[in-house]
Structure 1
Amino acid sequence: MPDAPLPDTVATAQSTPDTPQPYAELGMAEDEYARVRQILGRRPTSAELAIYSVMWSEHCSYKSSKKHLRQFGEKAPASDALLVGMGENAGVVDVGGGRAVTFKIESHNHPSYVEPHQGAATGVGGIVRDILTMGARPVAVMDALRFGPLDAPDTRRVLPGVVSGISFYGNCLGLPNIGGEIGFGAGYAGNPLVNALCVGVMRHEDIKLAQAPGPGNKVVLFGATTGPDGIGGASVLASATFDDESHAKRPSVQVGDPFMEKLLIECSLELFAADLVVGIQDLGAAGVSCATTELAAGGTGGMRIELDRVPLRDPRLTPEEILMSESQERMMAIVEPAKLDAFLATCRKWNILAGVIGEVTDVTPEEAERGGRLVMTWHGETVVDMPPRTASDEGPVYDRPYARPADQDGLQADTPDRLERPKTDDDLREQLLRVLAAPGVCDSSWVTQQYDRYVMGNTVLATPHDGGMIRVADDTDTGIALATDGNGRYTRLDPYTGTQAAYAEAYRNVAATGARPLAVTNCLNFGSPEDPGVMWQFAESTRGLADACQALGTPVTGGNVSFYNQTGDTAINPTPVIGVLGVIDDVHNRLTSALPADSDGARIVLLGRTAEEFGGSVWAEVVHGHLGGLPPAVDLAAEAALGELLADAAEAGLLAAAHDLSDGGLGVAVAESALRGGVGATLHVTDAFTALFSESGARAVVVVRPEQEAAFAALCERHGVPAAEIGTVGGSALTVTHPEGGFSVSLEDLRTAYESTLPAVLGAE
């Protein structure tokens, strides 16, 4: 084997200032490279260039979105529950009884197109480690997925691979997958969205932070070895425009080992319980570059690392490759010297490789003012000498130009009023079945049956109900509910209102379980930030979410921005996915979305107001292939009142079922509830078309327990929520009557329409 090339040392960089460097290939702009030279007072070494390129990438630095994300903090509502907000690996909220919950959602979009199984699997692994790093035990996962048209050839490649990756990693970890969503659309062909959420539970005193305090403390790398997989994944795949050459970037996709991650979880929790860690960071995007710079910046500002002590799977890796590798299942801890032996012994117990690769150092006042000092050596030669805060906290911040897209006015002017509406009851029946069978509305069991929903034994609600619910511990009845929602059609028509509608739907889904919404996480999926039209969408979307969270009192605890979701010049519909977390004092009071089969004659009540709102609706898309007009109006005060009503009614035991109204409207909601309960229903409406297909917000359909009708009516009046009795439970069909007639659909026909779509295309198995 030939000798390895000599490393590019700091001394070499000082003596060869004009050496060409591949900064553009690493995703850096010319002015960014010039700024690095200014910070260092010389050209960077190859290792330093690697650190800055990944840490200043769009994925890691949020350089195009920071300006807009700041309003989540500026407009944050006061919250006694918020323990850790934005800026750490995940937000933390108090759920009572000395316990706290941490949750976050992130994207793994581009890797999941290049290599669907591993891209999705490592997306799950990464978000689980974010939760673990906060000191919590991960207790559940969810996912929000978007694919191209269901019958497109590439969807049949990507979707099964993504689902197998999610199920493989989550099932092997023993984490229940309690919910999420799936959608389809032409814009996601070639650019699927794979957004993974994880939630963990801890005691207040267990919270851990990404910091490296205490000069002399040891820097320990533990977990899997470092290999060539995932090199530059953050900058290569997630921070640039996607194109036809992306399939050649398979080496940038990480390879996951869930069995190693399971050992890492148990080992880390034992280390935390024994108080053997003073700072912790997982190695996700940007790998060692991220962990070292962020830990150093969060502590004294000083750290010395010996890169040749990093355990490698491939001894040929260069310093810059070690720094850019995103090999999975790795953590970095800051450990006091007196506790090092106990730390290493715990790692050996769990068969986890661990080794000291450096130590925390003190810095002079001058070094602190410059952003600290991070020194890395390779076989005795200094290859990095830089201020870590300039990489982790002081990267470029762009004020990207943005402008309302030229086609936006025309899109909104093309209202669905011109679309032909059903003329007969047969038309109504046929169109209801078509909407119910639409990809994105239809039964998703083909996907969700591959996930374990009940492992660990604390799952209270899961797919297909409105939200997932987990009991937080064996010794309490307190539970948390979670839901994720997004609607790219609405957001394309009006990013401000569409984002608020996604938030409102997730808020409503949590409330429909009987929980009280408490906090928000988000994954903001958009096209290229270099497109002024996309940046306008992003600016309006973030403004809408910040305003909505402020109005409803749910702080944003963290999240993720995913830009460059486009193929060539074609961007996806803007798709902010909003996750809402709520708390329920007693999980025995939970509500399901299934009509109660043992309550024949129970009253069905529609909550909220229904208007003729079909812009961006499933009916317009499925029946007419139309997208235009404005999305349904969002009334945040009405959403808050509905949420309070549902939580109070659940606590008082007044309801037998609840289901929010969203995609498809009332017709879809009642059909789903009927199928989940195995019992029919009869509805009495006035304007059957509007009643069945409108997607007006702030609405839910509930079943009132017999003899509780008066109490529930009084509660509705107290909360100011409109309530109309529209039918009863019973029979073996969904029957709809109106002044001019009516129609009936058997449960068997409903089930055939609802359950056959995905198996017909993807296979029955």
Structure 2
Amino acid sequence: MADTVENAASSPDQPQPWAELGLKEDEYLRIREILGRRPTGAELAMYSVMWSEHCSYKSSKVHLRKFAEVPAETPAGKLLAGIGENAGVIDIGQGYAVTFKVESHNHPSYVEPYQGAATGVGGIVRDILAMGARPIGVMDPLRFGPLDAPDTARVLPGVVAGVGGYGNCLGLPNIGGEVVFDQSYLGNPLVNALCIGVLRHEDLHLAKATGVGNKAILYGAATGGDGIGGASILASETFDDTKPSKRPAVQVGDPFMEKLLIECTLELFAAKLITGIQDFGAAGISCATSELAAAGDGGMHVDLDLVPLRDSTLSPEEILMSESQERMMAIVEPDDVEAFLAICRRWDVQATVIGEVTDGDRLIIDWHGETIVDVDPKTVAHEGPVYERPLARPDWLDAVQASGVDGLSRPASGPELADTLLRLVGSPNLCDKSWVTDQYDRYVRGNSVLAQPEDSGMLRIDDASGLGVALATDCNGRFAYLNPRRGAQLALAEAYRNVAVSGAQPVAITDCLNFGSPEDPAVMWQFSEAIEGLIEGCLELGTPVTGGNVSFYNQTGDTAILPTPVVGVLGVIDDVTARTPVGFAPSGEVDGAEIWLLGETRDEFAGSVWADVVHGHLGGQPPALDLDHEKRLAGLLVRAARRGLLNSAHDLSEGGLAQALVESALRYGVGASVSLGDDDPFVALFSESTGRVLVSLSSANAPELIDLATEAGIPFRRLGTTGGDSLEVEGQFTLSLDEIRTVWQAPIPAALAAAGH
């Protein structure tokens, strides 16, 4: 028998499992205060999932509010919908808008790698769909423990298969992302998923229930026992799989159902049958009903008996907490209900009217004819606890920052430099990632203009004009560990630069902020510093913040992950045929291709791949950053692309110039010969100074590039020429591309083969 509101009022002292559901004692007492009685079991279930860290942002809200300092409209971009919606929407011109967002599915992907990753993709796709957009592409920033760790061999293949399996079945190209390995992610991988969608301005939809008498229709998959309390609980405490609360079932995805749901929803939008819509993500029906009602102009009444179930034994609390996938809720005018249901039938999508918008401000849910929920939805969805967690700069950071790289031995001769290059090229974070990306369909739908291993992914939006968008995600957790404020800005700058090298003008960002426990003052200090860094960076670069995600409790025992504020940057390109690829152009396509370096190289190795791989060292201060320089450099690259000056452009980041030369050469098998002049060859090749780009171009175009660089105030120098089948650094070494490629391609397949994959 269900615990009714009437029963709750008459039995105030009945024990309740609030702690087992992840609530703190003061939170439980606050719920009783709000209701004026103890909550029913169903109300307790709703509050527990909606007030979880994952859903309520209770530890991060005070910091995230500072993003309001970044204007929603700048010369670079204009937001049509921003923070607080399912996903941000930005105007890209010609009446088009795009919506994009990145979210985490970290802990579920450790428990069940395939389904955790797959449902992470499915959830972010529905967020995009709920804005009125057609999803057109996905990306996957991934982070794992050491490549040779036994558990990485368990998690990595499952996660990659889940990302690829779900996205491929949906027919969405995977155009970019990251694959990073570090000891701190062992036992706590990061599986971040990004989706982008396109819509016309007039097609924008928001998540709110308006219009008394309008019907609430649940459509899509039936509700099952999978994922009860899943992401909302898993992501809201320090991860420890020995606790019962840490072992709820991970959601199970059905991409074929989601594909039907997408097409059905887009037809419903086109028929103008939807007045409000919400996807079912973390917290399931609890989330959809409370958020729609809280954002609307009335209340809502729901009959839980009408919810289609895959498991008839589910209790009302379980139905409210289930995170079963491929479900949406739409608010529909009564006269449009039959047309709505008819379209759903045509797509073989189950749809059921389960409630309606009511006068007043209450969310009332009945079960077997009795009321089991009677709450103000705003208290569930928007008025949860807000914590100002203690934060403090950690004592250990002084010693870490003082432990620079000056005492580390450096290669001194040409052969030593060559050995260093091969060692870095064959390291897990710089090696070939095609074992991963070849499992993704990068070109389905036919609008992928650039995809991995390019610096950014690019999609055509309009066939007639060539209008397109580019996207990149980046973060160097080692830099963020050394200096979280600058590390976040370096992540922003790299993603910004990666978009610009393709020829697209960066216009907006999204972020996925992955950190350890918010109950650790050092972690909260890292988080606060990263937020401040992103705000400063976005103000300088003029990039609005469309929204994003916070993922806390990413740690195993007392060991937190490296602070990992992943930043996704969106760029717009007027004509995708003017794009600039990464690789040196094959001989015969161009004459006299010259290689130039834009930007200034300094002796900066703290947090570098060289320090990590060769010396196992992490200390010092990360590279300096000049955001005004980044802005001017991006402008130069966009103008050069529009004029068709460049054959290729590649951002310098991890591994420095050496890695950029290798990747540019291996892309199409075109070698290069470069001269470093009187520069220290080690610094020139391996420094990770920011704000640098390697370009190749016809010698006939060099004078115009020099003019643009001079006008922008960007340092430049000619390094050499493309051609041949080797990489030559004059006076130092020559390595064949075959030898480099063999070393570069080996690590991931070899590690997984050794583990039996």
* TM-score bracket relative to the smaller structure: over 0.9
Q: Out of 506, 514, 520, which is 1:531 matched to?
A: 520
Query: Which moved further from structure 2: 755-764 or 184-193?
Result: 755-764
1:197 paired with 2:194, answer: yes
1:308 paired with 2:292, answer: no
Q: CA distance change for structure 1 residues 283 and 704 in 2, over 3 Å: closer, same or farther?
A: same
1:32 paired with 2:30, answer: no
Partner residue of 2:710? 717
Identity of aligned residues (%): 65
Q: Distance in 1 between matches of 2:506 and 2:463?
A: 22
Q: Distance in 2 between matches of 1:390 and 1:634?
A: 43
Q: How does 1:24-103 map to 2 (within 5 A)?
A: 24-76=19-71, 78-79=73-74, 81-103=78-100
Q: CA distance change for structure 1 residues 629 and 247 in 2, over 3 Å: closer, same or farther?
A: farther
1:422 corresponds to which letter in structure 2? P
- Residues 81-123 of structure 1 show CA distances to partners (whole Å, capped at 9, x for unaligned) of 2111111000001111111000000000000000000000000
Partner residue of 1:512? 501
Q: Out of 639, 642, 645, which is 2:630 matched to?
A: 639
Q: How does 1:614-633 map to 2 (within 5 A)?
A: 614-633=605-624
Helix, strand or coil: the match of 1:252? coil
Q: How does 1:261-300 map to 2 (within 5 A)?
A: 261-300=258-297
Helix, strand or coil: the match of 1:417? coil
Partner residue of 2:380? 391
Q: CA distance change for structure 1 residues 712 and 301 in 2, over 3 Å: closer, same or farther?
A: same
- Residues 465-489 of structure 1 show CA distances to partners (whole Å, capped at 9, x for unaligned) of 0000000133330000000001110
Report the number of matched residues: 749
1:754 paired with 2:724, answer: no
1:409 corresponds to which letter in structure 2? D
The Cα shift of 1:596 comes to: 1.0
8 Å CA contact 1:736–1:744 kept in 2: the answer is: yes
Partner residue of 1:701? 694
Q: Out of 527, 549, 569, which is 2:558 matched to?
A: 569
8 Å CA contact 1:659–1:669 kept in 2: the answer is: yes
Query: Which moved further from structure 2: 700-709 or 165-174?
Result: 700-709
8 Å CA contact 2:584–2:722 kept in 1: the answer is: yes
8 Å CA contact 1:64–1:397 kept in 2: the answer is: yes
8 Å CA contact 1:296–1:374 kept in 2: the answer is: yes
Q: CA distance change for structure 1 residues 472 and 94 in 2, over 3 Å: closer, same or farther?
A: same
Q: Out of 13, 20, 38, which is 1:18 matched to?
A: 13
Helix, strand or coil: the match of 2:406? helix
Q: Distance in 2 between matches of 1:437 and 1:565?
A: 28
Q: Distance in 2 between matches of 1:424 and 1:144?
A: 37
Helix, strand or coil: the match of 1:8? coil
- Residues 489-530 of structure 1 show CA distances to partners (whole Å, capped at 9, x for unaligned) of 000000000110011000000001000000000000000000
2:618 corresponds to which letter in structure 1? L
1:607 paired with 2:598, answer: yes
Q: Distance in 2 between matches of 1:421 and 1:726?
A: 23
Q: Distance in 1 between matches of 2:531 and 2:487?
A: 11
8 Å CA contact 2:72–2:79 kept in 1: the answer is: no
Q: Distance in 2 between matches of 1:268 and 1:476?
A: 27
Q: Out of 103, 107, 110, which is 1:106 matched to?
A: 103
Helix, strand or coil: the match of 1:320? helix
8 Å CA contact 1:60–1:234 kept in 2: the answer is: no
Partner residue of 2:140? 143
Q: Out of 568, 572, 585, which is 1:596 matched to?
A: 585
1:276 corresponds to which letter in structure 2? L
Partner residue of 1:678? 669
Q: Out of 157, 161, 168, which is 2:158 matched to?
A: 161
Q: Distance in 2 between matches of 1:706 and 1:489?
A: 39
The Cα shift of 1:246 comes to: 6.5
Q: Out of 223, 226, 241, which is 1:226 matched to?
A: 223
Helix, strand or coil: the match of 1:352? coil
- Residues 569-625 of structure 1 show CA distances to partners (whole Å, capped at 9, x for unaligned) of 010000011000000000000000000122353111100111000010000001111
The Cα shift of 1:443 comes to: 0.7
Helix, strand or coil: the match of 2:653? coil
Q: Distance in 2 between matches of 1:432 and 1:285?
A: 45
- Residues 196-253 of structure 1 show CA distances to partners (whole Å, capped at 9, x for unaligned) of 0000000000000000000000000000000010000133201011014269855431
TM-score (norm 2): 0.98
1:67 corresponds to which letter in structure 2? V
Q: How does 1:303-702 map to 2 (within 5 A)?
A: 303-363=300-360, 372-598=361-587, 599=590, 601-685=592-676, 686-702=679-695
Q: Distance in 1 between matches of 2:698 and 2:111?
A: 51
Q: Distance in 2 between matches of 1:362 and 1:634?
A: 55
1:128 paired with 2:125, answer: yes
Q: Distance in 1 between matches of 2:217 and 2:243?
A: 35
1:585 corresponds to which letter in structure 2? D
8 Å CA contact 2:461–2:469 kept in 1: the answer is: yes
Q: Distance in 2 between matches of 1:498 and 1:664?
A: 17
Q: How does 1:207-226 map to 2 (within 5 A)?
A: 207-226=204-223
Helix, strand or coil: the match of 1:655? coil
8 Å CA contact 2:54–2:233 kept in 1: the answer is: no
8 Å CA contact 1:237–1:252 kept in 2: the answer is: no
Q: Which runs of 5+ in 1 are unaligned?
A: 1-5, 364-371
Q: CA distance change for structure 1 residues 119 and 520 in 2, over 3 Å: closer, same or farther?
A: same
Q: Distance in 2 between matches of 1:26 and 1:581?
A: 38
Q: Distance in 2 between matches of 1:670 and 1:104?
A: 32
8 Å CA contact 1:76–1:549 kept in 2: the answer is: no
Helix, strand or coil: the match of 1:323? helix
1:34 corresponds to which letter in structure 2? L
Q: Distance in 2 between matches of 1:663 and 1:653?
A: 27
Q: CA distance change for structure 1 residues 356 and 9 in 2, over 3 Å: closer, same or farther?
A: same
Q: Distance in 2 between matches of 1:288 and 1:620?
A: 49
The Cα shift of 1:726 comes to: 1.0
The Cα shift of 1:179 comes to: 0.6
Q: Which runs of 5+ in 2 are unaligned?
A: none
Helix, strand or coil: the match of 1:718? helix
8 Å CA contact 2:239–2:246 kept in 1: the answer is: no
